Amino acid sequence: MFRIVHKRQLSDAVFEMGVEAPRIARKAEAGQFLMLRIDETGERIPLTFSDWSAEEGWVRFIFMRVGKTTHKLSHLDVGDEIKDIAGPMGIPTHVDDLGRVVVVGGGVGAAVAYPVARAMARAGNTVTVVLGARNADLLILQEEFEALGVELVVCTDDGSAGRKALVTAPLKEMCEAGTVDHSMAIGPAIMMKFCAATTKEFGVPTTVSLNPIMVDGTGMCGACRVTVGGETKFGCVDGPDFDGHAVDFEELMSRQRIYSDDERLADAEYSRECSCHK
């Protein structure tokens, strides 16, 4: 059992939760994820680490309340327990020797972008973060990004915070200025698709953190398969990071639409409205 030690509501439907998990915290790295099951009869869902402390023995994750499991999870509180948490899973994000990096986080993709940007900055890279949402109320982790001391560009669809623009606008401007050596996009598939299309025009290497439908998180079910460079890969064991210029995004989005009530699909549809190329 994993005891909840932290809970914070970030927006109307987005929550941050922390649990005691000392063994997981000692091994967690930026870009990795965990598999969570609330109780004996619950489904397994993948959630990416948003923070952790090896010294204090806790890990945190951010989720959106969109389906049965996340609704139930959102009603748990500090002191309650979660039945199963397995992790860390997936290959950590490569952060060394990247140079000038732009990390784009759209919607709840900011939860992944935060530890990634932190790790890249600590590795000695020059980091710019582009944070996007539909409006100011839906921006998450802005203060945490500011505390990193990296350059932060905030975009909202309605201009209620930062500049009124899609995240691809400042990304393109930086590519045109020649100030980007590497880019990473994290968010809904449609946003990552257009971020990759933007950087490809300028020959800027781009990593994307994919969010395919996932069942077991170990590569056995095959549900998270994606096509990258013409080859079949599995998001859970080969990823979640892949070359954005090689991903078949049309196939990825088509597979996400197979289950219309899937939590990760609902997240993608919400985030699509928040901050993406239209």
pLDDT for 260: 53
- pLDDT tens figures, 198-234: 999 999 999 999 988 888 888 888 889 999 999 999 9
Sequence length of the chain is 278
pLDDT for 212: 86
Reported in sequence order, the residue ranges of the chain that DSSP labels E, i.e. its strands, are: 2-9, 14-20, 33-37, 45-53, 58-64, 81-82, 84-89, 100-106, 126-133, 151-156, 163-164, 182-186, 206-209, 225-228, 231-234, 241-243
pLDDT for 275: 42
pLDDT for 171: 98
Prediction pTM value: 0.90
Cβ-based neighbours of 111, under 8 Å, separated by 6 or more: 16, 48, 50, 61, 62, 140, 141
Tokens (6 digits) for 1: 């059992």
**Domains plus CATH for the chain?**
2-89 (2.40.30.10), 100-274 (3.40.50.80)
For CA atoms 129, 149, 173, 176, the dihedral sign is negative
Say which amino acid occupies 12: D
Which of 86, 16, 22 shows the shortest CA–CA distance to 56? Answer: 22
Rounded CA separation 178/197 (Å): 16
Contact 248, 228 (CB under 8 A): yes
What residue ranges of the chain have pLDDT lower than 50? 261-278
CA gyration radius for the chain? 17
pLDDT for 216: 84
pLDDT for 31: 96
Q: In the chain, which residue ranges form alpha helices assigned H by DSSP?
A: 22-27, 68-74, 110-122, 142-147, 168-176, 189-200, 249-256, 263-274
Which of 183, 201, 193, 208 shows the shortest CA–CA distance to 125? Answer: 183
